Every structure is written in structure tokens, then in C-alpha cells.
Homo-oligomer: A and B are copies of this chain.
Amino acid sequence: MVSSKYMTNENNSTSKQKTIKNIGALENGDKFTGIVKIMRKSQPGPVIFTVSNGYGMADAVIKDSDFNVNDIVEISGYVNERAGKVQIEIERIKEMKIDFDSIIDKSSEPNNTSFTIESERLEKLRPYFYSISKRIRRAIFENQPIMIRHHADSDGINAGLAIEYSSKLLMEQIGVNPDYNLYRFPSRAPFYEITDVFKDVVLVKKIIEGHGQKKPLIIILDNGSTPDDVLGLKAMKSMGFEMIVVDHHNPVIIENKKTLVDPYLSFHLNPYIEGLDSQTCAGMLAYELATWICEDYSNPSLPAVAGITDRSNIKEVDEYIKKSKKSRRELEEIGTAIDFIAYQLRFNSGKGLFEELYDNPELVKIINEEVRKGSKTQLESTLPYLRTQDINGIILSTIDLEKYTMKFTYPAPGKVVSMIHDTVIIDRERFPVITIGYLSDMIIIRSNKPVLPVDKIIERLRKDIPHAHIEGGGHECAGAIKFIPAHLHEIIQNIKSQVKELSYEGYIKDDN
């Protein structure tokens, strides 16, 4: 066996060439000579170095050595397979005075810098894609683990899957083991909650530092841009973590292209910063980024599903739908199934299960039937008890969700209010319609026209009922408000007064 392998090597002049490009693809019997950086050193016993040549990663073994992590050396030796693992058996090793960073920096430049669709919106954000994809590639080439945190809805999950799978593909191509270098977790809250931060730190300390690895690069998707994220990001930064945010939620405060979270991030991609809005959702942004991280990665259904479930109306969604070769209906049902599964799994990352949905239309159908049934129940239970008033031409409806919906049942309150709202609108499209669902400490608002933006409601409530400690936020036509339970009814009355005070005719005029 040995001789034949060596023969293969001797008359294989391309082999050396190949290994210099991709040390991660070395085979038994190859001979490797090249300049590498030591990424990891494992002792005691014979020294095992994990080395990078700036593109790929391999193990190299030597009886003993004083070289250490971060040293740049030239090594030479034959490749041998042991217990199914390929190793370079170092024959010669010597120090090299060379700027290895520039080699890695060169490798880190994305090979692909085209978007998968034509889009002015994306072009406007091009510099962010370049620097973020380069940073993530660099992490992979430097054997730095990657930890993805994403919002646990269809948009966030699709964003997470895109970055996870493209990073995995690149890792496999260059010989890095994704099992120890790639993590993905969902966040229930619509921001990077402090509880998630603490859990991440405990995990990093346990799993990753236990393997003698670097601090991971943290990538936060479909979360991370808003004032609510400041606490978590600040805490992570204080512990020396580097973080990247890719989000499409309104950062609220932007001055000179700087948001409240920027001091804690190395990169922040958010369309609002460049004057765009939330329609280019996180799933689209992350998908395009994924194709820059690894040019061989592709799954155009992902951004299509993300866009549809986030109710994005821009032409980019249609482009993705076209590329996905699935119908809008099919993609929407995949999104619904993702949301349903995310609801059931809570803090479980659902590894392998979300992927299944893209290949198993029967499962998608089964889940959608269940969701339709549940939606019908929630609607039938609430509609008869909906109180609807016409206040100066504005249709205001209220419903007590605690009394009239099933607890712990999908769809959850937010979606229930959306469904009720969609029902109220029927035949009233021309009127402003506001729908309010309430729990003991929360109010959910939906409207079809921005006559009374959620931000304004909150501002006024804070002024009128300060002791209620109003929190929350949202878009112009949708939002949620949290408060001290005692003040629920006062808050509802106050919102009704705000509607009464509206000069709706004035609004009509302003609008036209």
C-alpha cells in the first residue's frame, strides 16, 4: 500500500500545486511543503498542530516542538492517514519571517461579489456585503468559530440557515470541522435579550474554550439593530466578543449613519442606515451575504420565503420567487410551517427540521392544514365578541384575548389580532380600521392606514399614564405595547380618546 501511494505522489506534479491552494484536501501519500500559520497546538503527547496556509486547514504532527500558536513556519512532510484522519508528518519545520496576515487577508476576499438578483436596494448596500463577507470568510480561514443568533420567525430562521449552510460549505471545502466551529441558536425575543447573552457566554466558555479554540465571531440576524439590543451587545462587547449585525428592523435613532448599537459592533448592515426601509428583510440580506461567503452556496427559496412571510412587497421578492422555481403559494406555506415549528420548538434550534420543509411538500401541507384549522378556531372564538365602533369615520375594534382565545395554542395572540384585523377590513378597505387585542399586560395593534402610528400612541400614553410604564414599539400600522397590568382599561380608554381627537378629514387631506 505504502509504495503505490508514494508512487501516485511522485508522478503527480499537480498534487503539490493543489495542496498549496487547498491544504484541506490533502490525501494520504501527498507530500506537502509550504508556509503555514499555527492555529492550534495540542499537547501533551506528540505535538499536533492545526495549521493554515491561508486558505485551508490541516493537522500536522511532530514529536516535539517549541513553536506555538500564531507562529508562521514553513513545514515539509508526507501526508499520512491515521484512524481515518489525514495528517502531515512534519520532517522539517523552520520559522518564516513573513506577513502571514496579508496571505489570509487575500484569501478572505470574497470570490463572488455579485448579487443573485438585480436590485438597486442591494447595490446601495454593496460595501457592507463586501466587508462582512470578508470578515466571516476570514473567521473561517483563521479557524475562529462562528455563532449565529437569529430571531425565531420565518425571516430570522431563513437568514440563519443561509449563513449556517454557506459557512458550513466553505468550512468543509477547506478542511475545518463545522461540528466544533459553527453554532446557530434562535432568540424568542425580537432582540438580543440579556438571557440569550448569558446563555451564549456559558456555552462559549464550556464548549468552545474547552476545545482550546478562539472566541467565536457572533453574527446576529434579524435582530440587533434596535435600542432594545443595546444592553445585550454592550455586555457581550465588555467580555471581548466581536459582533456583526444584519437586521432590517428600524434602529429608530440614526445620526450620521450611526445607530445606538454601532459602538458595540464591528459591522452593522441595516437598510435604514442607507435610507431604505424594512422591506429588504433579513432573509434576503443574509442570503445574498451567504453567496458571497461561499460562491458555491445556493438556495433561492430561502429569501423568497423570508420576504413573503415578512409581508415584503418589493420587486425583489418576485425575483426570488421566480428563481426558486416554486409558486408563491408553495413558498408561503413553507413560511407558515417554519413559523408553526418555531412556535412549538421554542429554544430548540430545530436543526435538520426546517431544512426538511424545503424537500417535503407533504409535511408542509399537513402543517398548513393544522394552522388553518387553528386559525379558524381562533377566529370563530373571537369574532362574535369583538367590539367594533365607528369613531368619526375610523373603525376601532377591541377584543380581550385572554378571555376569548385558547392559551398556548398556535396561532399566538399577535397573529390572531392580524387575522381579526384582516376580517374587519373586508368591505371597509376605504376606511381607516384599527384593531386592538389585549392581554392583562399587553396590547397588540394593527391598522390598515397610518392614521394613528403606534409610536404616537405610545408617546401619548407615556405622557398621560406615566405610572403604567409603557414599553414597546412597532411599525406605523402594527405594534405591541407592554405595561403594568393595573392600568389596562385606562390605557384602552386613552387610545379611544386619541382616536376621537383625530381629525380624520384632516388626515384624508394630508394623505392626498
Contact between A84 and B45, CB atoms less than 8 A apart: yes
Q: Is the CB of A366 within 8 A of B238?
A: yes
- CB < 8 Å: which of B1, B82, B345, B469 contacts A377? B469
A44 at the interface (CB under 8 A from B): yes
Residue of B nearest to A341 (CB): B198
A502 to B468 CA separation, bound complex (whole angstroms): 37
Residue A360 lies at the interface, judged by CB distance under 8 Å to chain B: yes
B239 contacts A404, C-beta separation under 8 Å = no
Q: Tell whether, in the assembled complex, residue A363 and residue B198 are in contact, meaning their CB atoms are under 8 Å apart.
A: no
Chain B: minimal CB distance from A200 (Å): 10
Number of interface residues of A (CB under 8 A): 63
B239 contacts A44, C-beta separation under 8 Å: no
Complex Cα distance, B483 from A54, in Å, reads 62
Q: How far is the CA of A252 from the CA of B238 in the complex (A)?
A: 44
Per the bound structure, the CA–CA distance linking A63 and B1 in Å amounts to 9
The binding surface of chain A is classed by DSSP as: helix
Residues on B with C-beta less than 8 A from A201 are 352-353, 356
- Complex interface: stretch among A29-37, A89-97, A379-387: A379-387
A194 adjacent to B360 (CB under 8 Å)? no
A385 touching B84, Cβ below 8 Å: no
CA distance A345 to B202 in the complex (A): 10
B362 touches A406 (CB 8 A): no
| CB < 8 Å neighbour of A231 from B194, B352, B370 | B370
CA distance A395 to B45 in the complex (A): 72
Find residues 147-205 in chain A having any chain B CB closer than 8 Å to their own CB.
194-195, 198-199, 201-202, 205
With A63-B1, A353-B205 as contacts: A469 and B406 at CB distance below 8 Å: yes
A405 at the binding interface (Cβ < 8 Å): yes
Q: Is the CB of A464 closer than 8 A to any CB of chain B? A: no
Residues of B contacting A43 in the complex (Cβ-Cβ under 8 angstroms): 84
Q: Name the CB-closest residue of B to A344.
A: B195
Residues B485 and A403 in contact, CB atoms below 8 Å apart: yes
Beta-carbon contacts under 8 Å, A289-339 to B: none
A234 to B81 alpha-carbon distance, docked (Å): 46
- A394 CA to B201 CA in the complex, in Å? 48
Q: Is A257 an interface residue (CB 8 A)?
A: no
Which residues of B lie under 8 Å from residue A277 when comparing CB positions? none
A124 at interface, CB cutoff 8 A: no
The answer to whether B352 touches A194, judged by C-beta atoms less than 8 angstroms apart, is no
* A351 contacts the other chain (CB 8 A): yes
Query: In the complex, what residue of chain B is closest to A204 when comparing beta carbons?
Result: B352
A83 contacts B352, C-beta separation under 8 Å: no
Q: In the complex, what's the smallest C-beta–C-beta distance from A52 to chain B, in angstroms?
A: 22
| Contact indicator B406/A360 (Cβ below 8 Å) | no
Q: Is the Cβ of A381 less than 8 Å from the Cβ of B469?
A: yes
Q: Looking across the interface, which residue of chain B has its beta carbon closest to that of A63?
A: B1
Evaluate contact between B404 and A366: CB separation under 8 angstroms: no
Query: Counting CB contacts under 8 A, is A484 at the interface?
Result: yes
How far is A206 from B355 in the complex, measured between Cα atoms in Å? 13
A404:B353 contact, CB within 8 angstroms: no
Within 8 Å CB of A254, what residues of B?
none
Interface residues of A in 102-125 (CB under 8 A from B): none
In whole angstroms, what is the CA distance A234 to B363 when docked?
A: 8
A238–B357 Cα distance when bound, in Å, is 11
23 A-B residue pairings within 8 Å (CB atoms): A45-B81, A45-B83, A195-B344, A195-B345, A198-B345, A198-B353, A199-B345, A199-B348, A201-B352, A201-B353, A201-B356, A202-B350, A202-B351, A202-B352, A205-B353, A231-B370, A238-B362, A377-B469, A381-B468, A381-B484, A404-B486, A405-B484, A406-B484
Apart from A1-B63, A238-B362, 9 more pairs, CB < 8 Å? A44-B84, A44-B85, A198-B344, A199-B345, A201-B353, A206-B352, A239-B360, A381-B468, A407-B441
